[in-house]
Amino acid sequence: MKKLLIVESPAKIKTIKKFLGNEFQIMSTMGHVKDLPKKRLGVTINGTVDIEYEVLEGKDKTLADICKAASTSDAIYLAPDPDREGEIIAWNVNEDLVKVIKKGAKIHRIAFNEITQTAIEEAIENPSEIDQKKVGAQQARRVLDRWVGYEVSPILWRKIAPGLSAGRVQSVALRQICEREQEIRNFKPEEYWTVDGTFKHNKEEFVAQLSHIGTKKADISDQKTADAIVSDLKKESYIIDSVEDKTRKKNAPPPFMTSTLQQAAYNTLGFSVKKTMQVAQKLYEGMPLGDESSPVALITYMRTDSLRLSDTALKQARSYIEGNFTKNYLPSKANVFAKKGKGNTQDAHEAIRPIDVSLAPEKIKRFLPADAAKLYDLIWKRFIAGQMTSAEYAQRQVTLTGGKYIFKVTGSTLIFDGFLKVYTADDDEKEQKINLPKDLKAKDPVNLNKIDPKQHFTQPPARFTEASLVKALEKEGIGRPSTYAAILNTIRERSYTTLDERKRFVPTELGMTIVRMLVENLPHIMNVKFTAHMEEDLDKIANGEMERDELLKNFYSTFKEDVKKFGGDKKAKKEAIATGLKCPECGKEKLAIRFGKSGEFLGCMGYPECSFTSNFERDEAGQIKLVEPKKVELLDEKCPQCGKPLREIQGKFGPFKACSGYPECKYIHREKANFDCPQCGGEVVQKVWRGGKFWGCDNYPKCKFAVFDTIIDKPCPKCKWPFLTEKSTKEATEILCANKECGYKKEA
């Protein structure tokens, strides 16, 4: 009996092959194979919501090969990832398979949370069908995103600048960043003072802070008040009013789900959200532990918002703790965790955990790339720590009085480390190491040896990092585990934000302008609560509690009216933001922020009578300052056309070299490939666009040859095409032949 198993990622094939042997042929879709059309909306409402799909560019051969193998198979198992994206991949592939399979052959949908022999064999023995409710939920999300992107983006092109885009969830996330920046700009620091006293008891000293004056909290707003209090304090005698001792417990942390793994990896390892998910994908799919031909899957599925753990996992953890630690580290029963916050938990998957706890990080570290070893270490330790006993602290609070003045200090000593023996990486409560004398007793006199008044100022809220933005999105119920990486990736790649020196998001003027316009004109899609409610409705579709078309029609009825009003006057001028700065050239008109092909700039509102323009920046308070243009630095290289020196220019997409004789000479230096254009024989040069760099024929537009992937300067070993390309996806990195007729590919 011939069997075919179809997975999403080619990296899984080796891992699964060793479990199933030769009875199964295993093939990969290499991600999605179909999507909505590239050049048209692809969604129509004719009583029902009809969705049009087309095969993605470069996937024709992949799909054809799968169909060819399926046509001779007796049983086909669709095994893309066990989430909504995986379900739509299975559904799209199934559309083509049903047309080619032989009579009597059956198509099954299987899913597994971990790539182990037991999990895969169990899935094959208990096949199911494609979950149409999950498919409906994914389609609803995709259509919502298509409507917003397809219908709003052209309005932004017309009103602000060409090439801009809007996204249903990304724009709401950008709003969070912009509103935080506005809070920072509007923030007015307030002065306050604290007073520390150094007290001596017998021969030991300790520090306590002024807490209350009489019955009121010590609220000191200026130096004059602080000085008066310090003067008063020197006149008083002090005693210990009370000493309170208690034990405080700190509970073990839950295992990771997607969002908490992303936050912990960012905070402790410095990994971006995108990097975390790429490395986790490899750990899930399998990595060789000494034997290249036999990769081992190391963690469970990494896109989950569940904290649930299987009985098998709990038994593994408890057995490991019992065998490697003393009995006081093992609780009497397994720790169980529940998710807090907004949004439904999709409990189809477990939390993220190691598949085999006996593969301790130190055992396999030497076999793994450094980043994979670090992330596995984090996941393994968090899982084990989560099933250990609480840490315990002896906590002592001492209150001292002198007249109407009350000082307090709390000391904390770790008396049993519990789970901290294994995991302390993201310990948010940095325990203060305050050592207090052991022989302190109530009514004992103490001497005030030193008074230390300190001036402080309130601080503005912090800008978002990737980790804190994920935390905020999760708290508000925006997005889902499978979307966080894509949301952040889009925000980072667009020119709507930059990163400051501490890798925190700073919105650009363009980002702020887009958010303001969208909030004013499309209040529904920019509303945080509305977006969170939409996520809940998508979950309802997946759970069979709501129909796909019901959600889509309700959304579109309001959305189309908002878009119609927003589109408004098609002859309206481009958006310009007036500032309070007077034009230094004409002295009459004010300057305005405008948006051009090379980014944002200041321009005189008296244009075209006054053509003054300038670069600008904002200071910490948000005030605009003009920036003097940099002096042109000439290079040692000569222009090959006119002989004048080349100069380096900072363009919209980065620096480039051009002739200093511009505009008389318009030469621009371009990097050339070591091969001629395979289509017309012209030169292949490096070009730039909003999406980054690519290689294209210099005879454009007559010749439209272009390569958007990384070029490897080696001929194809199969067809002798002059170069290969390297393409990276979330699943894997592959070396491919750029000749579509060849089909050569291998893993990088």
- Other Cβ atoms closer than 10 A to 419: 25
Where in the sequence numbering do the catalytic residues fall? 301
State yes or no: pLDDT of 109 exceeds 80. yes
Q: Are 297 and 216 members of one domain?
A: no
Residue 116 pLDDT class (50, 70, 90 cuts): very high
DSSP label at residue 618? E
Supply the pLDDT for residue 430: 53
Inside any domain, residue 463: no
Under 8 Å between Cβ of 259 and 474: yes
Query: Using CA atoms, how far apart are residues 430 and 426, in angstroms rounded to an integer?
Result: 10
Inside any domain, residue 466: no
Q: Are 231 and 121 members of one domain?
A: no
Q: Are 268 and 378 members of one domain?
A: yes
Domain boundary among 83, 112, 130: 130
State yes or no: pLDDT of 688 exceeds 80. no
Task: State pLDDT tens for residues 619-658.
Answer: 877 889 898 876 777 888 999 999 999 998 776 666 788 9
Q: Are 276 and 380 members of one domain?
A: yes
- Residues 455-477 have a mean pLDDT of 95
Inside any domain, residue 634: no
- Other Cβ atoms closer than 10 A to 38: 9
Q: Are 120 and 39 members of one domain?
A: yes
Domain boundary among 548, 567, 586: 567
Task: State pLDDT tens for residues 126-160.
Answer: 999 999 999 999 999 999 999 999 999 999 999 99
Q: Are 676 and 707 members of one domain?
A: yes
Q: Which residue has the higher pLDDT, 428 or 187?
A: 187
Q: How many CA atoms within 13 Å lie on the side-chain side of 176?
A: 27
The number of folded domains in the chain is: 6
Supply the pLDDT for residue 345: 47
Q: Are 168 and 281 members of one domain?
A: no
Q: Are 451 and 529 members of one domain?
A: no
Those residues with Cβ within 8 angstroms of residue 231's Cβ, 6 or more apart along the chain or in another chain: none
Under 8 Å between Cβ of 380 and 357: yes
Q: Are 558 and 591 members of one domain?
A: no
Inside any domain, residue 587: yes
CATH code of the domain covering residue 231: 2.70.20.10
Domain boundary among 356, 385, 414: 385
Tokens found for residue 498: 């930059």
Q: Are 125 and 145 members of one domain?
A: no
CATH code of the domain covering residue 329: 1.10.290.10
Inside any domain, residue 724: yes
Q: What own/partner pairs with CB < 8 Å and gap ≥ 24 does 180-186 have?
A: 180/461, 180/463, 180/464, 181/463, 181/506, 181/507, 181/512, 182/512, 183/460, 183/461, 184/460, 184/461, 184/463, 184/620, 184/622, 185/621, 185/622
pTM of this structure:
0.82
Supply the pLDDT for residue 391: 95
Task: State pLDDT tens for residues 220-263.
Answer: 999 999 999 999 999 999 999 999 999 999 999 999 999 999 99
Tokens found for residue 377: 């270490």
Q: Are 561 and 523 members of one domain?
A: yes
Q: Are 623 and 643 members of one domain?
A: no
- Residues 693-712 have a mean pLDDT of 89
Which range marks the domain in which residue 721 is found? 639-747
Query: Using CA atoms, how far apart are residues 30 and 62, in angstroms rounded to an integer?
Result: 8
Task: State pLDDT tens for residues 68-78.
Answer: 999 999 999 99
State yes or no: pLDDT of 426 exceeds 60. no
State yes or no: pLDDT of 346 exceeds 60. no
Residue 163 pLDDT class (50, 70, 90 cuts): confident
